[in-house]
Each structure stands twice: as C-alpha cells, then as structure tokens.
A = this chain, B = another copy of it.
Amino acid sequence: MNSSQQAASTSFKVPDSSRLQLNEQGRLRHFLTTEGLSKDILIDIMDVAESFSSVSNQAVKKVPVLRGKTIVNLFFENSTRTRTTFELAAKRLSADVININVATSAASKGESVLDMIRNLEAMQVDMFVVRHGESGAAHFIAQHVAPHISVINAGDGRHAHPTQAMLDMFTIRRVKKDFAGLKVAIIGDILNSRVARSQIHALNTLGVQEVRVVAPKTLLPINTDSLGVHVYDDLQSGISGVDVVIMLRLQKERMSKALLPSEHEYFECFGLTQAKLAVAKADVMVMHPGPINRGVEMDAAVADGENSFILQQVTNGIAIRMAVMTLVLGHRAGEKA
C-alpha cells in the first residue's frame, strides 16, 4: 500500500451493507451507493427517469410530484455544477429547495454535523442531498435521520457518487438498449474516483459482459480483484474492442504530484484521441462526467465528436435525479397526475 492508497482511508466508517438504503418493503428509501442494490432497483430508477425525460422538453418544465416537499442541498464540499443539477431536478418536481453551503455557515460556529441534521429535521424537511469530502458522510447522516427523511448521496470522498453512475447507466441503456454483451472501459484515476467505484458496481449488477479499468499503476486501488474488473495499464489494450469508454476527470487536487509526472505525459499515455479510439468498436460511446480537461483526459475532437455522449449525460442527469428524488420519497411517476 503506497502513501496515496493509505490516504484513501476515510473519516466516516462506510457500512458494508447497503440494507440501509431500502425500507421494510424493499423499496428505495435513501440513495447512497450503487453497491448492493438489486438489478430490479437499478432498472426501476432508469424506467422512472425515462418517464421524466420528456418533462424537461415541455414548454412548462414542471410536474407537481414533490409540491410542498422541502429538499435541502447540504454541500460540505463546493460544487456549483452538481448542486445546480439537483436544484433543477427538485424545482422541476415543484419542490422547495434550500441551499446550504456548510463551509460558510454553521460549522464555523462549532455546530456538529449531527446537531445540524437534527435542527434541519426539526424544521420538517423531507430530503437531504449531501455532498461531502469524506467517504461515508452520507451513510452517516442516513443512519441518523428521522424515519420520514431521505438522504441522497451527491458524492462522498472517494467512496460513491451513485446518481452520476446511474445517469451513465441510463445514457448507455438509451443508446445500446441492453447491457448484456457490452464491454465497458473506465479510464483514469480509478484509485481516487468515487464515480468509478459507483459505475463498476452498477455495470456488474446490470450484467455487462466485461468491465475494464485502465490506469497507471499508481492510480489503481489495491482491491481490484474483489471489484470484478479487468485491469489494464495500457490504454490501447484497455479500449480494444469495447462498446463504451468512460473517461474519468483527472482530479488534480486529490493527487500527490509525485504520482503523475505531468499533464502532458498523462495525455500521451492515457489521453483519448480519435486515432487511439480506432481500436474500440466503430459505434463506441465516449463518456465523461465533466467538466472535461481538454488536452488532458481527451482532445477536443473526441469530446465534441460523433462518438461523444457527454452532453446527453448531462441531460439524462436531470431525469435520473428527478427519478431518484421521486422514488425515495415513495412516489412513482404514475402518481404524477
């Protein structure tokens, strides 16, 4: 275990089980991780998202599904981009949204996370959308909230980013129709990526033929055997014959400089170009969670090329977040009217 891998240890304990996410009827109550959720649940999320996809195209982009519900965006880590997608999804469901950026508020008064949660609960809010720099934070909050409150994990440390993974699955399904038979390669900083972890669990549960991770050895986690993935440290072998290439964002701020000589060298080895992409299937999908570092993870021709589904991912992200919000609050798209 190198020093970076040691640094991946977390402050909050992440429970092994995903039982926490389901209620007594086996339906989704929180959405914290894709790990351990059944194929039926993942398909249900995508089916509900499909029913919401048309809402954002309507002249009046609003359905009354969550009218009078209060959703709190509780962001301990700043991300205007992610916050905006959840805020938009909530508003299109007619919910009231409260944005709380914790770095600038109560934490500075010494209020603990739990006291903050207790207080917001007492204001009878319905949902926390939690973003946190520490792995396990959303689980921790979900373990402690009142029975009527749902928690959605909007990214916790290196652990999970399940709505990102589900919008990726949804984007793949809308194009490829079926997961069986697909080969999917995830490229980049696997070690530090909560996105990769959530994608790997979802892809395996949905029954793809093969999940590959492609990264320099210093950016691979140590437990790849248990993840059910094939490991490559060479890009060309890794994407050879694949149906889907998912590029990860290079989280420069998370990595010690020693692990990566330079952006330029990274691009030479692991950056995607049209030329390199030729070894994948002709109709390969290229995906990226954004924002892209053009010239680092891929060049502009790939990002804006015909194989790119990067903007469709963003569009689908709104529908997925609307679906998850609706499902955890016990509503179904069919109940809209």
A residues with CB within 8 A of B? 56-62, 67-70, 78-81, 84-85, 87-88, 91-92, 96, 98, 100-101, 104-106, 109-112, 115-116, 118-125, 290-294, 311-315, 317-318
For the complex, give the distance between the alpha carbons of A101 and B81 in Å: 11
Q: Which of B62, B122, B314 contacts A68 (CB 8 A)?
A: B62
For the complex, give the distance between the alpha carbons of A291 and B113 in Å: 11
Q: Which of B96, B116, B123 contacts A315 (CB 8 A)?
A: B123
Q: Closest Cβ of chain B: how far from A186's Cβ, in Å?
A: 20
Contact B80 A105 (CB under 8 A): yes
Also in contact, A124 and B57, with CB within 8 A (given A115-B290, A292-B115)? yes
Q: Which residues does chain B contribute within 8 Å of A292, judged by CB atoms?
A: 111, 115
Q: Closest Cβ of chain B: how far from A321's Cβ, in Å?
A: 10
Contact B56 A124 (CB under 8 A): yes
Contact B110 A291 (CB under 8 A): yes
Additional A-B contact list (15), CB under 8 Å, known A61-B96, A122-B312, A123-B318: A70-B88, A70-B91, A78-B105, A80-B100, A80-B101, A80-B104, A81-B119, A84-B100, A84-B123, A88-B96, A109-B291, A112-B294, A115-B290, A122-B315, A124-B315
Q: Which residue of chain B lies nearest to A252 when distances are taken between CB atoms in the complex?
A: B110
Q: Which residues does chain B contribute within 8 Å of A104, judged by CB atoms?
A: 78, 80
For the complex, give the distance between the alpha carbons of A94 and B206 in Å: 41
Listed by A's residue number, 27 A-B pairs whose Cβ atoms lie within 8 Å are: A56-B123, A57-B124, A60-B69, A61-B68, A61-B69, A61-B96, A62-B68, A62-B96, A70-B88, A70-B91, A78-B104, A78-B105, A79-B105, A80-B105, A81-B105, A81-B111, A84-B98, A88-B96, A88-B98, A91-B96, A106-B291, A110-B293, A115-B290, A115-B292, A118-B311, A119-B314, A123-B314
For the complex, give the distance between the alpha carbons of A115 and B304 in Å: 10
Q: Closest Cβ of chain B: how far from A22's Cβ, in Å?
A: 22
Contact B67 A60 (CB under 8 A): yes
For the complex, give the distance between the alpha carbons of A43 and B88 in Å: 35
Max chain B Cβ within 10 angstroms of own Cβ: one of A98, A105, A109, A290: A109
Max chain B Cβ within 10 angstroms of own Cβ: one of A78, A118, A317: A118
The 10 A-B residue pairs with the shortest CB-CB distance, nearest first, are: A60-B68, A80-B105, A122-B314, A111-B291, A62-B68, A56-B124, A122-B311, A91-B96, A61-B68, A122-B315
Q: Which residues does chain B contribute within 8 Å of A85, judged by CB atoms?
A: 123
For the complex, give the distance between the alpha carbons of A311 and B85 in Å: 31
Contact B70 A59 (CB under 8 A): no
Max chain B Cβ within 10 angstroms of own Cβ: one of A59, A96, A119, A290: A119
For the complex, give the distance between the alpha carbons of A78 and B104 in Å: 9
Q: Closest Cβ of chain B: how far from A298's Cβ, in Å?
A: 13
For the complex, give the distance between the alpha carbons of A315 and B125 in Å: 10
Contact B57 A291 (CB under 8 A): no
Q: Which residues does chain B contribute within 8 Å of A57, judged by CB atoms?
A: 124
Q: Which residues does chain B contribute within 8 Å of A59, judged by CB atoms?
A: 68
Also in contact, A119 and B291, with CB within 8 A (given A80-B104, A100-B84)? yes
